Each structure stands twice: as C-alpha cells, then as structure tokens.
Amino acid sequence: KAGVTQTPRYLIKTRGQQVTLSCSPISGHRSVSWYQQTPGQGLQFLFEYFSETQRNKGNFPGRFSGRQFSNSRSEMNVSTLELGDSALYLCASSSGLNYGYTFGSGTRLTVV
Amino acid sequence: AQKITQTQPGMFVQEKEAVTLDCTYDTSDQSYGLFWYKQPSSGEMIFLIYQGSYDEQNATEGRYSLNFQKARKSANLVISASQLGDSAMYFCAMREGNSGGYQKVTFGIGTKLQVIP
C-alpha cells in the first residue's frame, strides 16, 4: 500500500510569506503528526491530529497551525515566515498507540 | 530534564560487527512506548523497532533488538552483523500518553552511525 505522501518535496519562500504543506497518511491511519527537523534542534514535535481533532501541540508559536480533513489528510500552515523556519518538515501517520509512526519523505523548506 | 537522551553523537563500527546505540529516557507515565528510527541521508525516517513499557521480553526485528532495562530507564538498540547500508542517523523516541487519546512522542537528538568496510 502507498506510504505517507508529503507535498511539495522542496519549497523556497521569502521572509514574511506564508506556506502550506500537505500530508496524505497511509490509508486507514487516522493519526497524523508533524515534526520540524533542524540540525541544531533535532526533531521537534509540532502537533498531532486524530479524526480531525488536534490532540496535542508542541511549543511552537501561533504562526504554526494545522488541520486534518475527514479523509485524514492533513495540512500544516506557517504564516509570516522567518529565516529560522527553514527546516525539514516531516509528517508521520500511525494506526495505533503501539505501532511505530510511518514517516513521509518530508518537505524541505528554505526561507530566504 | 531531557525526555530522551542519546549520549553518542557519532559511532563507528566495522562491517559484520555488532553495535549498541544508547538511549535513556525519563517519564512518570506507567504506560509508554519506545521506538527506534533510522534516517539515511535521503531524509526519510524508517521505523525499526518498538518496545512497550509492559512488554516483558526485549523486542527483536531481524538484526535489530532493543535492550530494555526498565529500572535503569534505558532502551538501547543493538544492531547485529552491521552492513554498509546501516550507515545513517538513528533516533530513539518515546511515546507517552494513554488510550484515551492523549499521545506525545519525543525524539532524541540522534546518533550518527558509520559502518566501515
């Protein structure tokens, strides 16, 4: 079956712009989580959605937001981009608590 | 305190040898899960192995095994018979929460493993 699909793979944006990243989980997976990965901070948890509800949120400013649709696809939005937002954004889906997350290939965002 | 601690920023291992990657964790939850992931240079995170806090036996998946020592709060990954393709970053992660819906996963900073021919 298809894995977790993230689009786009690469993005270059200018400071102050906003961006929307998309994630399609594995079919049947209702949990979708987002992570930001940078060389200095490692993997930082952004938020998790389950059945269209945000269940948990990491320590990121309100510029970072997300949502999940009825088909479990999820989007993440970052407004008023800053240079420090440059990172690899990873989406992961899971079928349950006792199973590992399956990650997508990520979206590499560069803010210039 | 760090939730997940990986003290080895980098490790070298000879091909065909075994290697242990260290991970200690901190949680007050009784029910939690521990994971290991591999991230090759391509960037994709690959799930390797899972250990539940109530599992009495160490988890094993092929060449991967998890040395779970609950009292010490450690969950070391053992890779047997290392292969060149094992060269990657390895992340230890912990899931805290309950079946009621709350769930949070924290990752360590990773260990870079390089397998030497």
Tell me: the pLDDT tens digits for A46-98?
998 988 998 888 889 999 999 999 999 999 999 999 999 999 999 999 876 55
Q: Which of A33, A50, A99 sits opposite B101 (nearest CB)?
A: A50
CA distance A47 to A91: 10
Residue B10 has what DSSP assignment? E
Dist CA B21 CA B79 (whole Å): 8
pLDDT at A55: 82
Interface of A with B (CB under 8 A): 31, 33, 35, 42-43, 45, 48, 50, 55-56, 88, 90, 92, 97-106, 108
Closest CA to A74 of A10, A13, A20: A20
In whole angstroms, what is the distance from residue B76 CA to residue A41 CA?
22
pLDDT digits (tens, 9 = 90+) for B92-112: 999 887 655 556 788 999 999
User: Taken in order A35, A37, A41, A43, is the CA torsion positive or negative?
Assistant: positive
Report the alpha-carbon distance of residue A31 to residue A27 in Å, rounded: 11
Which regions of chain A does DSSP assign to beta strands (E)? 5-7, 10-13, 19-24, 31-38, 42-50, 53-57, 64-68, 74-78, 87-94, 102-103, 107-111
% chain A with pLDDT above 70:
95
